[in-house]
Chain A
Amino acid sequence: MERSSSRLKVFAILVLVMFAALSTRLWFLQVLATQVYAKEAQNNGVREIAIDALRGEIWTADQYGKPNGEPLVKNRSSLEVRIDKQELEDSGMGEQVLGELSEMLDIPVEELRADLESTKYFDFQPKPVAEFVPEEVAFAIRERQERFPGVQVRNTSVREYPMGRSASHMVGWVGQVQAEQLQQPQYRAYGPNDLAGQSGLEVEYEKWLRGTNGLQRYVVNADGERIRDLGGREPTPGGDLVLALDGEWQRAAEAYLQDSILRTRQVYDEDSTSYFKADAGVVIVLDVKTGGVKAMASWPDFDPRWYVKGLSKGEECYLGYDPDCTGANKVAPLLDRAYQEVYLPGSTFKPFTALAAVKEGYADLGTPYACPSEYVHPGDTSGASFSNWSAQDLYPGNLAEHLIISCDSSFYAWGSDFWYRYQNDQLGENNEPLQRNLRAWGFEKPTGIDLPNEATGFLPDAEWGNAPEQRDLFPQKWNPGGYILTMIGSGYMSVTPLQLATAYGAIANGGHMCRPHVVDRVMASDGETVLKKVNGQCDRTVPYSKAELDYIRGALAQVPLRGTARSAFLGFPLSEVPVAGKTGTAFRGDQFQDTSWFASMVPADDPEYVVVAMVEQAGFGSDVAAPLVRRMIETMYDIEPGGPIVTQTGQD
């Protein structure tokens, strides 16, 4: 076998090469690269699932801690069906699955398809198509998961609203986190399926309400069966919001506002020769010592429960998501008019402009001033005249009297003074003291309320008036009219009702500007630990003496007694609960009816609250807003309701 021995050597060498190859590879896998594979093996077997934390509840001040208290917002669990579009399409069973789902969920296929095309979510996010799915339907889907590729059933907790649509603007709503949100850094930790606040307090206090998701880690085998629990982390429920809001007052504010609006619509307006449109309104009650929002109603409103069950076509239309839908309501019910919309404040603005005139030395507190029916800026030959609200010349009186009867013409004259100040020092740094004084009250700035998307309002000034864009309004550049109209809360300026209420709060509390807040404190879910106290931040003061502020308040206390709000407060026990207030009737231009305002402090001698009411296109402040405020105060001080909800006095 000599010949074959050398060939066997060749054979043996071949075998050796094979073994060398295997050993080399094994050395690489098991010695050099083992860490990579050890990690992969670990990842293979260990699964993590997030356990959603229960979202915090929202309570009104009067219900929290009560034995049978009912929160404004609580949780309820819901079985939700979501579809992963990519997975569904990849399966090639799209049509069949949608058809079957449509039948099971009783939703038309077209609607399901529309949900899938929704751009509210990223492509990788499963799109919600149905909530509150009956248990047997959810079970049928889970049981035959292979026939429903990409279809998921999730047990989610959804919001429930024991108080119905009350405070809906402030509360807001919750939904699956949206694409736009996921791009922001504070949503970095959110999964595509997570819930997030979408408006109101729900979004403003998202980080408190959300809680911390729990984590369950366990070992699974290749079939995904759970083999062993590795423990994890319990979810921490979100904190509960305890509001400054008084639930009873809030409901009263909403009810009276709606009542007032509906009644006003039955009143015929001589000026516009039509019934009042009264298309929207606001009632605000602020605690003047803390800035706490005790009630804040905005009408028209919406029902947050619509979002929980999914918006119907009609609801989408009403809410303004589809501006082209037939019968679309243009009233923007989602807008919280208390702080997200701006208005001309009319005469309710006079206390602030009056104090500005006093501060700059154009007026004083004692001198009697005339109140003619018309005013022409001295030397103005253009024929422009500014009329008083009354066609007759009214009796002369001091500043207080002018506030009580709401004289306009004296304020026009002080407006001219502000014009001269500007004209004589056009390049000066402090040539527009009116605006500076008004800004001290927080106008043209957000109040800092703990709600999203606050409007800031506007104070016209020379820089604005001289800008080329304003050539239509001011052909010869900025002119006296800019100041004259601002003096009576008219013209080009604007404020939010909340700004006005906050400024009245400063008159009421002796000059402190309080940041308004809806939330009083955030409580941990144990009900004992205070996570965050939203203290009344009242550290800014207005630059007026206590005497000046008391003078104004004293004057306004006469308004319900014998001034423009007299008829609205007929029969009201002013001796027990004195009210200081100011009516306002803002002219919005010929195509609109006037805005009706009443801003008040109560009790007038030592104010606790500011109550402000505003109704759009409703005529005189004394006719609509003042009786509305009276109703509100009656509720707040347990006074028997009296007087009509709408009067017809024809007084500013």
Chain B
Amino acid sequence: MDVVAGRVWADERRPIRHLDPTLLIVTAALVVVGLFAIYSATSQTLRADGFDPFSRVNKQAVTAVLGAVILLVMVTFDYRFLKVYAGFIYGAALLGLLLLQIPGLAASETGTSNFINIPGVSLLQISPSEFAKIGLIVILAAMLSELRSPVPTLPDLVRVIGVAGITMLLVFINVEIGTTIVLVAITVGMLVVAGTQAKHLVALAAAAIVLIVLAFQLNVVEEYQVERLLTVLDSGSVSEDARYNLEQSVIAVGSGGMFGRGYLHGSQTNLDYVPEQHTDFIFTVVGEEFGFIGSALVLALFALLLWRAIRIAYLSKDAFGTYLATGVASMFAIQIFVNVGMVIGIMPITGIPLPFLSYGGTAMLVNFIAIGILLNVHMRRFK
């Protein structure tokens, strides 16, 4: 019997019997691929510097286990509670972002930082902007599922954009272009599925362009970010560092060939030629050591994950569930596309991690939360 959300389920419809095993297996597979890739990217350097070569992998594995626990927690309650508390969740996310603006809390000596140090827990750094993604998905899903009209009206849109805009602004002023892009994609994806009229979308796009141009004109964007963005557009005009990053990344992937150079045998990876390899450029390990076959398999896993997410959106018993799943799918889709695109040189360098593969605590936890939300919607798809 399951009494969550005040409902008694018929035995055959008990949520626990309707987990999505494919989604779970795909997620687990991606995490495992990620652990292997991180080991390859970090062990040589760690060993050379006299550290335990497994230290990074271990930390990531611990985070993954923690993520799995959070996932379990996420499926124990009916997802519709999220709608009830959407305001609080959204408020908490904004609060987290605001905390970054308080000097002393940000975990950086140099000024801006994406992390907050939790006092007393020195090892755990929380990146509020990652949680902001979930906060935005939940609040937008709540708002869109409550629309009176079949398609969002202009006032609806203004409200949605207002809510999303505040989040984006707070992330953007903390100089996180990558996360801002993800937030935009989440918003656009959810608006598309909500049936926003094409003319409104066009108007939004125009407004966004004006804003971006303004941002650049007013020098809100840091110089190094402009540079990184420009790398893909015009490789002649950017700094040596950014170009080097991209070059080495493309060389790594390209040198992998059809079958790859073998696990732990990629010279680019082994010899540390790709900067930030274990975080944003983790896909280069897959590309170099497992070749096109490996890259395609990993992309297939991601495609499977997105397929399940879209299917869950489709199967959801209510609009809230559909929008939640859509938001999650948008979040993953844009991250995969921008990250892998960046690694292989067709997207600018924006600092977006690859879900489940990139080394990093908060992102991993948030990804598990997102999977938990998907599973939750799937498990409770029956009316």
Tell me whether A26 and B258 are in contact (CB under 8 A).
no
The smallest beta-carbon distance between B323 and chain A, in angstroms, is: 9
Selected from B258, B310, B326, B336, the residue in CB contact (under 8 A) with A34 is: B258
| Chain A residue nearest to B339 in the complex (CB) | A22
Tell me whether B267 and A44 are in contact (CB under 8 A).
yes
- Of A12, A21, A27, A29, chain B has the most CB atoms within 10 Å of the CB of A29
- A42 partner residues in chain B, CB cutoff 8 A: 255, 267
Asked if B256 is at the interface (CB within 8 A of a chain A CB), the reply is: yes
B window 86-130: CB within 8 A of A: none
The smallest beta-carbon distance between A33 and chain B, in angstroms, is: 6
Selected from A5, A25, A227, the residue in CB contact (under 8 A) with B346 is: A25
Could you say which of B189-197, B217-225, B371-379 contacts chain A? B189-197
- B273 partner residues in chain A, CB cutoff 8 A: 41, 44-45, 221-222
The smallest beta-carbon distance between A520 and chain B, in angstroms, is: 52
- A37 partner residues in chain B, CB cutoff 8 A: 250-255
Could you say which of B3-11, B61-69, B74-82, B287-295 contacts chain A? B287-295
A–B complex contacts, Cβ < 8 Å, 12 sampled: A1-B316, A15-B310, A21-B337, A22-B346, A25-B346, A31-B292, A34-B254, A37-B252, A41-B251, A41-B252, A41-B268, A42-B255
The smallest beta-carbon distance between A168 and chain B, in angstroms, is: 49
In Å, the complex CA distance between A299 and B380 comes to 109
Known contacts: A11-B189, A38-B254. The answer to whether A5 contacts B267 by CB under 8 A is no
- Which secondary structure dominates chain B's binding surface? helix
In Å, the complex CA distance between A14 and B194 comes to 15
Asked if B2 is at the interface (CB within 8 A of a chain A CB), the reply is: no
- B344 partner residues in chain A, CB cutoff 8 A: 22, 25-26, 29
- A222 partner residues in chain B, CB cutoff 8 A: 248, 271-273, 275
Known contacts: A11-B193, A30-B291, A222-B272. The answer to whether A23 contacts B299 by CB under 8 A is yes
The smallest beta-carbon distance between B201 and chain A, in angstroms, is: 11
Per-residue contact bits, chain B 178-202, to A (CB 8 Å; 1 contact, 0 not): 0000000000010011110000000
Per-residue contact bits, chain A 562-579, to B (CB 8 Å; 1 contact, 0 not): 000000000000000000
Asked if B262 is at the interface (CB within 8 A of a chain A CB), the reply is: no
Asked if B366 is at the interface (CB within 8 A of a chain A CB), the reply is: no
Known contacts: A4-B322, A29-B253. The answer to whether A11 contacts B329 by CB under 8 A is yes
> A23-B296, A30-B253, A219-B267 given. 12 additional CB < 8 A pairs?
A4-B195, A4-B322, A14-B333, A22-B341, A29-B253, A30-B258, A31-B292, A34-B255, A40-B254, A42-B267, A44-B273, A221-B271
Tell me whether B271 and A1 are in contact (CB under 8 A).
no
B window 288-327: CB within 8 A of A: 288, 291-292, 295-296, 299, 302-303, 306-307, 310, 313-314, 316, 319, 322, 326
The smallest beta-carbon distance between B194 and chain A, in angstroms, is: 8
Asked if B53 is at the interface (CB within 8 A of a chain A CB), the reply is: no
In Å, the complex CA distance between A7 and B314 comes to 10
A window 197-231: CB within 8 A of B: 219-223, 225, 227
| Chain A residue nearest to B275 in the complex (CB) | A222
Asked if B340 is at the interface (CB within 8 A of a chain A CB), the reply is: yes
9 closest Cβ pairs, A-B complex: A37-B254, A41-B255, A30-B292, A221-B271, A34-B257, A29-B254, A18-B337, A38-B255, A37-B255
| Chain A residue nearest to B295 in the complex (CB) | A26
- A30 partner residues in chain B, CB cutoff 8 A: 253-254, 256-258, 287, 291-292, 295
Asked if A391 is at the interface (CB within 8 A of a chain B CB), the reply is: no
A window 12-58: CB within 8 A of B: 12, 14-15, 18-19, 21-23, 25-27, 29-31, 33-34, 36-38, 40-42, 44-45
Asked if A8 is at the interface (CB within 8 A of a chain B CB), the reply is: yes
Tell me whether B251 and A18 are in contact (CB under 8 A).
no
- A18 partner residues in chain B, CB cutoff 8 A: 333, 336-337
In Å, the complex CA distance between A5 and B326 comes to 11
Asked if A3 is at the interface (CB within 8 A of a chain B CB), the reply is: yes
Asked if B150 is at the interface (CB within 8 A of a chain A CB), the reply is: yes
- A36 partner residues in chain B, CB cutoff 8 A: 254
The smallest beta-carbon distance between A139 and chain B, in angstroms, is: 25
In Å, the complex CA distance between A219 and B267 comes to 9
Selected from B194, B272, B314, the residue in CB contact (under 8 A) with A5 is: B314
| Chain A residue nearest to B333 in the complex (CB) | A15
Chain A: residues with CB nearer than 8 A to chain B?
1, 3-5, 7-8, 10-12, 14-15, 18-19, 21-23, 25-27, 29-31, 33-34, 36-38, 40-42, 44-45, 219-223, 225, 227
User: Contact size class for B?
Assistant: 35 or more
| Chain B residue nearest to A26 in the complex (CB) | B295
Tell me whether A19 and B303 are in contact (CB under 8 A).
yes
Tell me whether B193 and A22 are in contact (CB under 8 A).
no
- A29 partner residues in chain B, CB cutoff 8 A: 250, 253-254, 287, 344-345
The smallest beta-carbon distance between B74 and chain A, in angstroms, is: 23
In Å, the complex CA distance between A41 and B192 comes to 43
The smallest beta-carbon distance between B59 and chain A, in angstroms, is: 23
Tell me whether A11 and B251 are in contact (CB under 8 A).
no
The smallest beta-carbon distance between A272 and chain B, in angstroms, is: 73
In Å, the complex CA distance between A44 and B266 comes to 12
B window 345-374: CB within 8 A of A: 345-346
The smallest beta-carbon distance between A1 and chain B, in angstroms, is: 6
- A227 partner residues in chain B, CB cutoff 8 A: 271
- B329 partner residues in chain A, CB cutoff 8 A: 11, 15
- B48 partner residues in chain A, CB cutoff 8 A: 225
Selected from A22, A23, A31, A44, the residue in CB contact (under 8 A) with B271 is: A44
- A15 partner residues in chain B, CB cutoff 8 A: 303, 306, 310, 329, 333
- B253 partner residues in chain A, CB cutoff 8 A: 26, 29-30, 37
- B254 partner residues in chain A, CB cutoff 8 A: 29-30, 33-34, 36-38, 40-41
Tell me whether B267 and A41 are in contact (CB under 8 A).
yes
Tell me whether B255 and A40 are in contact (CB under 8 A).
yes
Known contacts: A19-B303, A29-B344. The answer to whether A34 contacts B195 by CB under 8 A is no
- A12 partner residues in chain B, CB cutoff 8 A: 307, 310
The smallest beta-carbon distance between B231 and chain A, in angstroms, is: 16
- A8 partner residues in chain B, CB cutoff 8 A: 193, 310, 313-314, 322, 326
Tell me whether A3 and B295 are in contact (CB under 8 A).
no
Per-residue contact bits, chain B 236-278, to A (CB 8 Å; 1 contact, 0 not): 0000000000001011111111100000000110111101000
| Chain B residue nearest to A18 in the complex (CB) | B337
Selected from A3, A11, A225, the residue in CB contact (under 8 A) with B310 is: A11
| Chain B residue nearest to A219 in the complex (CB) | B271
The smallest beta-carbon distance between B288 and chain A, in angstroms, is: 8
- A45 partner residues in chain B, CB cutoff 8 A: 267-268, 271, 273
In Å, the complex CA distance between A324 and B302 comes to 80
The smallest beta-carbon distance between B33 and chain A, in angstroms, is: 16
In Å, the complex CA distance between A34 and B251 comes to 9
| Chain A residue nearest to B341 in the complex (CB) | A22
In Å, the complex CA distance between A26 and B287 comes to 9
In Å, the complex CA distance between A530 and B139 comes to 91
In Å, the complex CA distance between A446 and B287 comes to 68
The smallest beta-carbon distance between A41 and chain B, in angstroms, is: 4
- B310 partner residues in chain A, CB cutoff 8 A: 8, 11-12, 15
Selected from B275, B296, B319, the residue in CB contact (under 8 A) with A4 is: B319
- Of B150, B193, B341, chain A has the most CB atoms within 10 Å of the CB of B193
The smallest beta-carbon distance between B304 and chain A, in angstroms, is: 11
Tell me whether A10 and B346 are in contact (CB under 8 A).
no
- B341 partner residues in chain A, CB cutoff 8 A: 21-22, 25
Tell me whether B192 and A7 are in contact (CB under 8 A).
yes
- Of A3, A5, A11, A219, chain B has the most CB atoms within 10 Å of the CB of A11
Tell me whether A11 and B252 are in contact (CB under 8 A).
no
Tell me whether B251 and A40 are in contact (CB under 8 A).
yes
In Å, the complex CA distance between A18 and B310 comes to 15
Tell me whether A220 and B271 are in contact (CB under 8 A).
yes
The smallest beta-carbon distance between A647 and chain B, in angstroms, is: 78
Tell me whether B272 and A221 are in contact (CB under 8 A).
yes
Tell me whether A4 and B193 are in contact (CB under 8 A).
yes
- A223 partner residues in chain B, CB cutoff 8 A: 272
- A23 partner residues in chain B, CB cutoff 8 A: 296, 299
| Chain A residue nearest to B268 in the complex (CB) | A41
